Structure 1
């Protein structure tokens, strides 16, 4: 791996000493570094375990909880490949990123497991697995056919299985005992099996009632034990378990990301992940914590108003079914126990009501700004940021680096201009971070997806990337800047990464990514508008795809009565009234295209127009509709619109309750209407109700 210590040191403003065989032969150099109080970065992830243990065993080394060792992979991400000699700027950028502080701590979600495991499936397969786990877990088997063992080493349940709900440490399982044989009482003596003339009793010790001819020979054979009773009523049961292992072909949870603590293993130990699953189950006893990955600000949420649903993007994209609608409370609710931290909900949220908390968008933005500024300082050009998962994505990139060494004629390796950056999940960053990366100097932003992502994540990211691409293309930047890369093997990824660069910004941005998504996007758009001022533009408004969170509201003036129900429904203050006169005004900058206004409008007079307006008018209120006010016939004060009052009079003129003086009162303001009622005491007041 070619290294240029001077160039790397210049980019990082430090003097660097390079140890080319540090793993073993130069271990003493690492031990000396571990005793110092300086930051310690190891540019290799393969031997992270070795270095960690070596530091712990070195006398006088700074404790890891005081000064952690930071690891970064320079070898497979750039040092191995055809362009390795040109990868110094990328190496400097990755080293700079590795030195950044860890993300700020966030609240955690706790799970408590005592090891109560329910195994559901064929009795023979379930009991084979139970035998492997009974020494570590409290096993219960729910039999679904199969052949049982003679020994009764653990509880066996049977009957009609109902719902399985919950998560690690808190699974609620419902079933009803519908079979005449009580498995808790059954001794598995097989007397009933031998006695049944129809062969209706299997070695799962349950009776096939469709085959049973009511000879009741089994009852006589089991008389001493009393485990068989055909008169037994179906009894509902409910119990709580910490873990669930499901051996059935159809899983209890159909979502892409099942709850933590639930394992689906069709075929039992024959499954290719059978041994791995057993090992994981044995480890899941005790108290566990995970970050609370999301933040939620219901004041920004565009999900619903007045029991009308507008935006439900987060509910649709969630692969764990952790988000539900609470439209009666004008918000959504996220179950932190079910949330797996994919962050897709925050990516599709148009307002930023849902935010990804660990790491925060501001921390991701700081990392991108550090990486791209260091890359440019070291002489790098036309950077392409490759965002990937820290699990399957990292493994695929490492495989590409190794293949570049093993098959140099066939595999190029990671190009020098491509900077891989791992994420907790590829769906956890979206338009605000992508546009900021472009503004910071990345000519392209790519997201790598492998087999681990849910299908809805891919579609959501494609839609959001189409919005990002439409924006920068509309601003005059040539080329393809945002792309979803799908690859499952090194050869495919190698081809995908060999894409030509695109036109980037002339001046790199320096703003910081904000906590609020819309604020960050406004900073990015402001910078790109200024930077692209010299680019030719054919239009003042860039058309955007339907998934856009920018756009206009169009009003059919002939249909609109200025009832202003859309104003009360708008969660973003994009639609406004006017206290001085009947007007509907609109601030396009605030619009999130949630559609609540269109859904609420009783006249169906509103349509959405996804676009990005490039003129200053985007920030200014403009009138969408206005009408001549209707003046009170008694005092002359305006109290409604001429069109609205005339429409009301036309609809109520033939009604028996609105004749004569009652109809005339409809032409008065509220104050004059009350005065008129009390000035005519002999008239029935119900007509004015």
Structure 2
């Protein structure tokens, strides 16, 4: 256990020492700082319930002679509990937040490495790009690509190119840029001697050393003047250029990379000089070796991307805003490829993935599950001690942006309590790396652990695809809950920006006025798994046992986005060719080696649709639905028919329906007239024997 230092911030928070079970200080960062210094000499790790003065406490810890047992950990109880309208009722929330801070940290994950030598390409109009190049030339290895002419410096201190960007991709330390040289003058060859400027009779060349083709009358005097240098050519065939860089400063009004999360090392600050200056400061620090977490784990074996040359699920590719995920087909087998250097850790791919092949790992769902179970358990136990009936609501938010919003709301509500409402006493905030990384497995898991609802706080800077995915997943999750007779428990708060505190305040006010909800089930004891489908199955089984409404025999229809469901089959069209069996990536469809029987296990189906695309008779359609756990585990027969036996040896080699269909389609063909028709009724071996006999 750790030492816990709690402060009421100069008496502005009504904290109960007895209820919290720890001493409450009045001014830990000032007059009582000696208490903190004394705690540094202890043998336990240290949790400080103050984020306001985190920098001060860290500085004091660094100056301490004794090394820390473990890194300092901080938890904010002021803005999320002590400064709210219900501060006196927030004891259970504070206790749960302190318990969370006391938990072990997540297991470390692999890292992705970057190496930058400071090779910077500045792209944009010469009037913008060249001044920055002059300022940065002494610190970075500068190159400039002028997309619009600008007066070139007479001294060639760095490469200057001109033209139109045709391709720009890559990441920190590994950018590749393609452009076309559109002007007859190649600035890389030009010596700025000025001979062409003097020779041009139309004054079509100025100090940008580019030809204004609207003024040029094709006298070619400039070509003659530059003959010894050869920088000017109106008949240049090779216009394509390419180079590699470590960093990109894109000053164009229409940047090439327009995704919401651009790669590390790429900056497009826009026209504002202040924004440009701030980006330049970052560029100066991006030389050397860097690393970031590898956010994901991919299991190709259970990926439903493609089989037999058919694309089934492409959810991760569709939702990725950074272009980090691509499609690969090899020998008909489809998988996805993730570039970890381009991945920015949003986790939307794991949220959208129906099979769990793409898994978010920073931190893992099992780790988050343990933390959520602790929060719910401690809150409930403390509320019971205080005779409070409330159960907690879970407020999920992106760690950085969401924390900024929640803290800002707490401070504003403390000063202006009539205009803004902070978090109710029953709402527990829980920060994750990115809001898009969380999906129905974690949401339903939280509900089974004792949370009454899950609220997602969107800060406004999410890619539209992320919002759409979260809304879709929330709709699906609520549909599952409704199938069991529960009301909707997954909600979204869609703020427009991190400054949009009013939207969050209104949502908190509505929750406060409504009051705490009741839990939908008794708390579960199981842990959440790294395997998404395994977690979902455990949750569904727990919810089914306590459902208000039993599921009907035929199940309950779910939205088309469902990762749960069965198959409808047109038995009249199905020939039992078993193409669907070979295409199913999850083993949900099964054949029988002895009889023509097509079987199905609904639990294994991820609704990828490859089977329906593969079926030559178009006999299969997806049926998104929720059946009982028992039904979904059973192997059911979708279709069966009589076997057709070879008319020569008697061996079964197909189905009666398949052979009848073949005879119907091929019977009119001249090649199968007469006795040759009988060969269609033979197995492969007998057909060969019969052909040999007829030839001899």
In 2: Cα distance, 1:434 partner to 1:262 partner: 34
Distance in structure 1 (CA, Å) of the matches to 2:95 and 2:136: 49
Question: 2:680 aligned with 1:666, yes or no?
Answer: yes
CA distance in 2, matches of 1:550, 1:241: 46
Kindly indicate whether the alpha-carbon contact (under 8 Å) linking 1:88 and 1:378 is maintained by their aligned counterparts in 2: yes
Q: Could you say if the C-alpha distance between residues 146 and 228 of structure 1 is closer, same or farther in structure 2, counting changes exceeding 3 Å?
A: closer
Alignment partner, residue 2 of structure 1:
14
Specify the alignment match of 2:427 in structure 1.
418
Task: Tell me if structure 1 keeps the 8 A contact 2:148–2:162.
Answer: no
Taking structure 1 as reference, are residues 569 and 502 closer, same or farther at Cα in structure 2, changes over 3 Å only?
Answer: farther
Matches within 5 A, 1:25-104: 25-60=31-66, 62-63=67-68, 66-104=69-107
Aligned counterparts of 2:128 and 2:17: Cα–Cα separation in 1:
59
Deviation at 1:221, TM superposition (A): 5.9
Indicate the larger mover: 555-564 or 627-636.
627-636
Does residue 1:564 correspond to 2:566, yes or no? no
Partner of 1:12 in structure 2?
none
Deviation at 1:236, TM superposition (A): 3.6
Structural mapping, 1:110-189, within 5 Å? 110-148=113-151, 150-152=153-155, 153-188=157-192
| Residue 327 in structure 1 maps to residue 336 in structure 2 | no
8 Å Cα contact 2:118-2:246 kept in structure 1: yes
Partner residue in 1 for 2:447: 438
1:494 correspondence with 2:497: no
**Could you tell me whether the CA contact under 8 Å between 1:8 and 1:378 is conserved in 2?**
no
Residues 244-643 of structure 1: matches in 2 within 5 Å?
A: 244-267=248-271, 270-328=272-330, 329-379=333-383, 381-478=390-487, 480-487=488-495, 488=497, 489-497=500-508, 498-499=510-511, 500=514, 501-532=516-547, 535=549, 541-614=555-628, 616-643=630-657
Q: Which deviates more, 181-190 or 167-176?
A: 181-190
Does structure 1 conserve the Cα–Cα contact (< 8 Å) formed by 2:83 and 2:410?
Answer: yes
Report the CA distance shift for 1:637/1:502 in structure 2 as closer, same or farther (over 3 A). Answer: farther
> Displacement, 1:275?
2.2
CA distance in 1, matches of 2:239, 2:400: 46
- Measured at CA, do residues 312 and 7 of structure 1 come closer, stay the same or move farther in structure 2, by a change above 3 Å? same
1:648 maps to 2:650 = no
8 Å Cα contact 1:477-1:503 kept in structure 2? no
Cα distance in structure 1, aligned partners of 2:601 and 2:147: 61
- 1:616 Cα shift? 2.1
When residues 223 and 630 of structure 1 are mapped into structure 2, their CA distance, relative to the original with a 3 A threshold, is: closer
Shift of residue 518, structure 1, vs aligned partner: 0.3
Seen in structure 2, the aligned counterparts of structure 1 residues 553 and 195 have a Cα distance that, compared at 3 Å, is same
CA RMSD of aligned residues (A): 2.1
Q: Summarize the alignment of residues 200-215 of structure 1 with structure 2, pairs less than 5 Å apart.
A: 200-215=204-219
SS in 1 for 2:671: coil
Of stretches 194-203 and 113-122 in structure 1, the one that deviates more from structure 2 is 194-203
CA distance in 2, matches of 1:551, 1:111: 43
Q: Per-residue CA shift, 1:302-333, capped at 9, x if unaligned? A: 01000000111111000001111113342111
Q: TM-score, normalised by structure 2?
A: 0.92
Judge which range, 155-164 or 165-174, deviates more.
155-164
User: Cα–Cα, structure 1 residues 675 and 537, in superposed 2: closer, same or farther, change >3 Å?
Assistant: closer
Is the Cα contact below 8 Å between 2:75 and 2:101 reproduced in 1? yes
Aligned length in residues: 669
Task: Go from structure 1 to structure 2 and tell me whether the alpha carbon gap of 1:609 and 1:317 turns closer, same or farther (over 3 Å shift).
Answer: same
Question: Which residue matches 1:687?
Answer: none
Are 2:551 and 2:628, in contact at CA under 8 Å, matched by a contact in 1? no
2:534 partner SS: helix
Structure 2 Cα separation of the partners of residues 160 and 464 of structure 1: 41
Structure 2 residue runs of 5 or longer lacking an equivalent are 1-12
Give yes or no for the alignment of 1:683 onto 2:695: yes
Match of 1:13 in 2: none
1:400–1:494: 8 Å Cα contact kept in structure 2?
yes
Question: CA offset at residue 144 of structure 1?
Answer: 1.9
What TM-score comes out, normalization by structure 1 length? 0.93
Deviations, residues 622-662 of structure 1 (Å, cap 9, x unaligned): 11111122232234333221111111111122223323443
- 2:6 corresponds in structure 1 to none
Q: Find the aligned partners of 2:237 and 2:574 in 1 and give their Cα distance.
A: 63
What is the CA–CA distance in structure 1 between the aligned matches of 2:591 and 2:553, rounded to whole Å? 29
Post-superposition offset of 1:160: 4.2
Give the secondary structure class of the aligned counterpart of 2:672.
coil
User: Which stretch has the larger CA shift, 534-543 or 29-38?
Assistant: 534-543
CA distance in 2, matches of 1:585, 1:229: 71
Q: Describe the shift of the 1:181–1:633 C-alpha distance in structure 2 as closer, same or farther (beyond 3 A).
A: closer
Q: SS at the partner of 2:654?
A: strand
Q: Is the 8 A contact 1:564 1:584 kept in 2?
A: yes
Using a 3 Å threshold, how does the CA distance of structure 1 residues 656 and 56 change in structure 2: closer, same or farther? Answer: same
Partner Cα separation in structure 1 for residue 629 and residue 270 of structure 2: 59
- Residue 219 of structure 1 deviates from its aligned partner by 4.7
Separation in structure 1 between the aligned mates of residue 338 and residue 408 of structure 2, nearest angstrom: 37
CA distance in 1, matches of 2:620, 2:227: 76
Q: CA deviation at 1:36?
A: 1.0
Whether the aligned pair in 2 keeps the contact of 1:347 and 1:428 (CA below 8 Å) is yes
1:46 counterpart SS class: coil
1:246-273 Cα distance to aligned partner (Å, 9 max, x none): 1111111232222211111332xx3552
Q: CA deviation at 1:537?
A: 5.7
CA contact (8 A) 1:540 1:615 kept: no
Q: Do the aligned residues in 2 keep the contact of 1:476 with 1:537 (CA within 8 Å)?
A: no
Moved more, 35-44 or 458-467: 35-44
